[in-house]
Chains A and B, each alone.
Chain A
């Protein structure tokens, strides 16, 4: 079973064309176009690369280069409730590494949890360094995170959306 996020539209080349048309006239449009596509569809499919290249009058290699440089940009659909744990120093100082291990253990015990959250996508700093360890669940920031609190938040979001 593949769970898809309800927050994003299904990929449509026609819709993507409409979304990026006004942006393509901005100065330096490539990253803006990629971000706009991802905001709407949740990821940047290969067809979008071709479309952005044509619309912005740059090579596909240029677009591919930008797409692969930035950690935010993804080429596959995101999980329904992404979980991101901060991997940076302030969170390490209060058990960030241990939290990551505990979270991974929970995900390996509960495959449904792993599938819903994508496991863990690390992030370097969420700006919540005084209330570390920090994490985001489905985009919402959590302070003083624990593996139990993460799981409970994920399950409550899944319960709301199913």
Chain B
């Protein structure tokens, strides 16, 4: 009997994957639910094995296309030979879309646990140095070298929770920031829904390396499928000796729990996240102390993004040198780019740093979904810059994008066609900041409200020149005076819109 592979990823489900899976079952077919390949414009993409054992697929399958003989929809051939996939170099996403995300046998059969086994054969310090040598940097946006952070936590003694009695048990934490709130990003979600064991394996490696006993994944409430899948994976991992005591028969004891967010963007900022996990308002903390020294409940804490931690098992399994050889001098390894917004072929592109934004948008993404010319691409989330179509040759990397006046953020690219009103986008950036500011510092809390007002005055033609100057002044105060990236980077989309698309701010030609 043919086995059919149908994604259970929430993006695939949002366009009917569940119904297709049910139709296949109703016709007597056997169905395995997998993650998504990340070619989201093809979803639901349904696959089966051909006579040679290769996975072949049909795209945009509807329930009406399902028959007792199989699927009668647009055939795409061997899925891994599709240009979009064949041109990628998948490390983090190596199993996503291929395996059943909560089947431990499938995980092992596709290379799972090789990283943790390698790590356990080394000393903890050697594991830390391997991560340092790999050049892995934080994929949440800040780009801090992961290995250096681990080294600090490894060298800091475990401590009791703040407020606990002196003889209370001491801890270190591995904390995963899965509060993926940036518009245009969904890679964390797809890893947690498509290969959650990889994240858990990375966390166990980190726990071994730094001497941590507890792990927490702070996962946003907007991702109910990811919450359910990760919780299920944690249960399976415990049952298989991948979490808990004596992990893989070693002396490592480490367990993980999921903490669900509550609809606050700023809780993606690491110190606000710690406050939220501690049950309080998500107010940003002043640094120092660094979380690596005094983090969750006052204990030394590794805080890494999902993609950072999910990179670790492959780095251990395949070697730091192989990873570091990819990318550019200062941006090593692979990045998971996410193509979103007005894009014909939206989805996941994991490849080495250094690829240009133009290649991503046009070669992989095939331009806009509307068929109109690309006018702007916002790179790196709501706090990232809007680049015009003629500046897309920039190489994707931490430093190269910074030099171009932008930032790589969490690797999202949101494409806009020529109907976009860039003054409205600039206004939205301020509005979003006003909505989501934690309120602790004045430049962010009040500056964002004033920003909306000033942009409104400019768009209405009210003393445009003086108000333009005022807006720049305000942006400078927010950039230099805010406590965290929320207020500090909101000026980036605003000023990039103003600098690259000044014509949209003129009231006579404004498009809004």
Contact = CB atoms under 8 A, between A and B. Distances in A.
Nearest to B171: A27
Contacts of A55: none
Nearest to B14: A143
Contacts of B435: 124
A26 B183 CA distance: 32
Nearest to A62: B280
Given A66-B279, A94-B369, A35 B186 contact: no
Given A30-B279, A128-B10, A143-B11, A35 B189 contact: no
A71 B438 CA distance: 12
A130 B280 contact: no
A69 B338 contact: no
B277 A28 contact: yes
Interface in B1-27: 10-11, 13-15
B282 A69 contact: yes
A66 B283 CA distance: 10
Interface stretch (B51-59, B257-265, B389-397): B257-265
A84 B343 CA distance: 23
Given A90-B341, A93-B341, A139-B224, A124 B436 contact: yes
A141 B420 CA distance: 26
Contacts of A32: 259, 279
Contacts, number: 148
Interface stretch (B66-74, B106-114, B410-418): B410-418
A27 B257 CA distance: 13
Given A71-B264, A89-B425, A139-B224, A130 B278 contact: no
A120 to B, nearest CB: 15
A129 B14 contact: no
Interface in B269-284: 276-282
A27 B343 CA distance: 44
A88 B183 contact: yes
Contacts of B223: 127
Contact of A127 (B41, B189, B342, B369): B189
Interface in A116-154: 123-132, 134, 139, 141-144
Contacts of B436: 124
Interface string B295-313: 0010000000000000000
A129 B346 contact: yes
B15 A131 contact: yes
Contacts of A160: none
A31 interface: yes
Contact of A128 (B11, B416, B438): B11
Contacts of B416: 93
Contact of A124 (B10, B347, B432): B432
A53 interface: no
Considering residues B265, B278, B414, which has the most beta carbons from chain A within 10 angstroms of its beta carbon? B414
Interface in A7-51: 27-32, 34-35
A89 B413 CA distance: 10
Interface string A90-128: 111110000000000000000000000000000111111
B182 interface: yes
B501 interface: no
A138 to B, nearest CB: 12
B14 A94 contact: no
Contact of B186 (A62, A127, A144): A127
Nearest to B377: A93
Given A66-B280, A129-B186, A130-B186, A89 B341 contact: yes
A27 B184 contact: no
Given A70-B264, A88-B382, A93 B278 contact: no
B14 A89 contact: no
A44 to B, nearest CB: 11
B21 to A, nearest CB: 15
B161 interface: yes
Contacts of B420: 93
A89 to B, nearest CB: 4
Contact of B184 (A35, A71, A129, A141): A129
Nearest to B18: A140
Contacts of B15: 131, 143-144
Contacts of A144: 15
Contacts of B278: 27-28
Contacts of B41: 130-131
Q: 4 smallest A-B Cβ distances: which pairs?
A: A130-B346, A88-B183, A93-B341, A28-B279
Given A92-B425, A93-B340, 8 more contacts: A70-B264, A72-B263, A91-B183, A124-B435, A127-B185, A127-B186, A129-B412, A131-B346
30 contacts: A27-B278, A28-B277, A31-B276, A69-B264, A70-B264, A71-B263, A72-B221, A89-B382, A90-B412, A91-B183, A92-B428, A93-B420, A94-B342, A123-B263, A124-B436, A125-B182, A125-B183, A127-B180, A127-B185, A128-B11, A129-B183, A129-B186, A129-B341, A129-B414, A130-B347, A131-B40, A131-B43, A131-B346, A134-B14, A141-B14
Interface of B: 10-11, 13-15, 40-41, 43, 161, 180-186, 189, 221-225, 259-265, 276-282, 297, 338-343, 346-347, 369-370, 378, 382, 412, 414-417, 420, 425, 428, 432, 435-436, 438
